[in-house]
Amino acid sequence: MSQIPVIPSGSEIPPAGNIGGADPPPINDGNQSPRHQQGDRQEGGGGSSLQDAAAMMARNNNDGAHTAMLISQIAQMKPLDGSNYHSWREDIDMITTVGEIDYALRFDKPVEPTVGTPNYDHRWMQYSIDKVKWERSNDKCMIILKRSIKEPLKSSIPECETAKEYLERVASHHQGSSKAYACSLMTEFVNAKYDGNGVRPFIQKMISIVAKINKYLGSPLHEEFVVFMIMKSLPKEFETFHIQYNTSVTDKWNIDQLLAQCVQEEERLKQTGDSVNLIKGNVPRQNKNSKKKFKKQGKQNNQASSSNNNQPRQGGSFSVPPDTCLYCKKTGHYKRKCPEFLQYLLESGTPYKPKAPKGPKNN
């Protein structure tokens, strides 16, 4: 028979269920989760539940701002219509990378581990984490891809389970345009000439073209070839600079060194006054009186040409042979007796006014 413990006099009787001074276990009535119960217990202690709530609100605000940024970027991009595949692909890569949702585009769908394999528990845990991450990324990417394609083209692309496969199907529909795009880039790079708007933006434009070519080829162009082509595209004011590079410079420049040296040479040309044609795009200056001179010369030339036209034609200078109608270009009659010409006058209601025969003037 168990003995009833004797409570010393003067001691406080602990409440029921709290014998021994330990905190009673939380009572779960089914309406509160253990996390909420823990927060209720800590509310009067250090206020950690308020910190957790503030952190949760901050995460929700960050997620909302992140989603709003993605929606804004998607709304600003131009939808794919069949003629802008490369710019569309660049926008898709930018949105998915900045939005950190490109996981499903970079990795295949996770495969469930087989029971009995080594480290099965660890593999299963990693698979569960990767699966959730991949599914979220795949769903978001599929929405963005289908939202950014116009309807006629969207209907021609079959349904796919993964966003990676869907993007590959879209790329297969534009293989021809990809080759044409690469050809146009190579032509633009080889035939590029300085446009007179500054050496720095021109070289940066050339570097951008090279980057697009490298992305299509899968391997970079030789840097020495790129430097040579950029030097070749500069105007004649840089001819001395080009010769000095070929004869005096022992080390080969990279693109960054070329950009710095060309900008320095442009500043030198501006200071020495040799950059008139360089800055104006090889268009020579005109003085104030050049416009007036041009008008006077044009007027004199017009007068001379009109006087030449008024001179009587010499024999054999007609554009048509003799005894040929000037209207129907047939031989045997003249224009004033041409049936087709007379029929035209009759139908149009135009009165016929024969010219007076030319003859010697009476003095």
Domain coverage including residue 123: 65-173
In a domain, 363, yes or no: no
pLDDT at position 110 is 93
Could you tell me if 199 and 227 lie in one domain? yes
**Whether pLDDT at 116 is above 70:** yes
- 149 secondary structure, DSSP code: B
Please say whether the beta carbons of 117 and 210 come within 8 A: no
**Whether pLDDT at 319 is above 70:** no
Please say whether the beta carbons of 226 and 210 come within 8 A: yes
In a domain, 142, yes or no: yes
Domain count, the chain: 3
Could you tell me if 214 and 266 lie in one domain? yes
Give the residue-averaged pLDDT of 330-338.
78
Could you tell me if 186 and 267 lie in one domain? yes
Could you tell me if 198 and 269 lie in one domain? yes
Collapse the DSSP code of 80 into the 3-class scheme (helix H, G, I; strand E, B; otherwise coil) and give the result: strand
CB-based contacts of 13, cutoff 8 Å, min separation 6: 7
In a domain, 306, yes or no: no
Could you tell me if 206 and 122 lie in one domain? no
In a domain, 98, yes or no: yes
**Whether pLDDT at 107 is above 90:** yes
The identity of residue 348, as a single letter, is: S
Domain boundary among 145, 173, 201: 173
Could you tell me if 186 and 275 lie in one domain? yes
In a domain, 33, yes or no: no
Please say whether the beta carbons of 266 and 260 come within 8 A: no
- The total of other beta-carbon atoms located within 10 Å of residue 91's CB is 20
- The total of other beta-carbon atoms located within 10 Å of residue 174's CB is 20
**Whether pLDDT at 175 is above 50:** yes
Could you tell me if 103 and 85 lie in one domain? yes
Q: What whole-number distance in Å separates Cα of residue 103 and Cα of residue 97?
A: 9
Among residues 257, 226, 228, the alpha carbon closest in space to that of 242 is found at 228
Per the structure block, which two tokens stand in for 310? 């008024």
Could you tell me if 154 and 112 lie in one domain? yes
Residues 200-243: tens digit of each pLDDT? 999 999 999 998 888 888 888 899 899 999 988 998 888 888 88
- The total of other beta-carbon atoms located within 10 Å of residue 92's CB is 22
Domain boundary among 155, 173, 191: 173
Q: What whole-number distance in Å separates Cα of residue 142 and Cα of residue 35?
A: 35
Mean pLDDT computed over every residue of the chain: 74
Could you tell me if 71 and 122 lie in one domain? yes
CA neighbours closer than 13 Å in the CB half-sphere of residue 351: 2
Can you name the residues that pair with 324 across neighbouring β-strands? 331
Residues 13-24: tens digit of each pLDDT? 444 444 444 444
Domain boundary among 143, 173, 203: 173
Give the residue-averaged pLDDT of 262-284.
68
Q: Within its chain, how far is the Cα of 85 from the centroid?
A: 10
**Whether pLDDT at 152 is above 70:** yes
Res. 109 pLDDT band, cuts 50 70 90: very high
Per the structure block, which two tokens stand in for 57? 């609100």
Could you tell me if 139 and 82 lie in one domain? yes
Among residues 87, 71, 210, the alpha carbon closest in space to that of 144 is found at 71
Q: What whole-number distance in Å separates Cα of residue 33 and Cα of residue 123?
A: 30
In a domain, 150, yes or no: yes
**Whether pLDDT at 34 is above 70:** no
Per the structure block, which two tokens stand in for 178? 């990809």
Q: What whole-number distance in Å separates Cα of residue 76 and Cα of residue 99?
A: 15
In a domain, 15, yes or no: no
Residues 56-74: tens digit of each pLDDT? 555 555 666 777 877 888 8
